[in-house]
A = this chain, B = another copy of it.
Amino acid sequence: MLDMAILGLLEERDLHGYEIRRQLRDHLGLLANVSFGSIYPALTRLEKSGAVVATEGAGSTSDPGTTAAAPPTGSLSGELAVLRARRHTGTRSRRGKKVYRITDAGRQLFAELLADGSAADDARSFSLRLAFARHLAPQARLALLERRRALLVQRLVDSESARPDLDPYARSVVQHTVDGVARDISWLDSLIASERADVARALTEPVG
């Protein structure tokens, strides 16, 4: 799951671990507060499998757009700091940013992970897939939305039967959750409608 998220972000631009975490928090809005204990192992994983490559990025804080790969310093003090750090850590290069870039194999893997229907069906996975839905073909997008909708409807039905005797607090929690699912479904409905409209528009408006 994290692998897909990371690859999706790297499709956009090169990033280092810390930035990936921030973007994930912003992209998935409050939903995904991923731990560094997940991110760094995931990056190592992806690097070993050849889906990404790491470039040792020195320099100061996030300046996306200009900073592509390792800029040859620019400031004397910065260069000194690098040398000083090198002295401390031994053989390894400066303990600094490690900027990751996606490879062709990584793009391939991302496409597979994104499209794979047999994957996890939890809310996080779905939100993540939808956030990257621009990378999907229109019919795959529709399938994603409709599969999710069917799942939620099924859950609502299941929850209607078999409701035991709950005290007010537990009942309130359950009810709030059920309302949330209903809300999700109508959200999906609007998304599905707009997808269909797009498809229809593409059909009636041929040839750019």
Q: Is A41 an interface residue (CB 8 A)?
A: no
> Per a CB cutoff under 8 Å, which of B26, B175, B176 touches A164?
B26
Give chain A's interface residue range (CB within 8 Å of chain B).
35 or more
Q: Which single residue of chain B is at the shortest CB-CB distance from A123?
A: B31
User: In chain A, residues 150-208, which have Cβ atoms closer than 8 Å to a Cβ of chain B?
Assistant: 155, 159, 162-164, 166-170, 172-178, 180-181, 183-184, 187, 191
> Per a CB cutoff under 8 Å, which of B30, B133, B174, B191 touches A27?
B174
Query: What residues of B have a CB within 8 angstroms of the CB of A31 in the complex?
Result: 177
C-alpha spacing A164/B131, complex, angstroms: 14
**Cβ contact within 8 Å between A172 and B130:** yes
Whole-angstrom distance between the Cβ of A37 and the nearest chain B Cβ: 14
Query: What residues of B have a CB within 8 angstroms of the CB of A187 in the complex?
Result: 176
**Cβ contact within 8 Å between A178 and B30:** yes
Binding site for B on A (CB under 8 A): 23, 26-31, 127, 130-134, 155, 159, 162-164, 166-170, 172-178, 180-181, 183-184, 187, 191
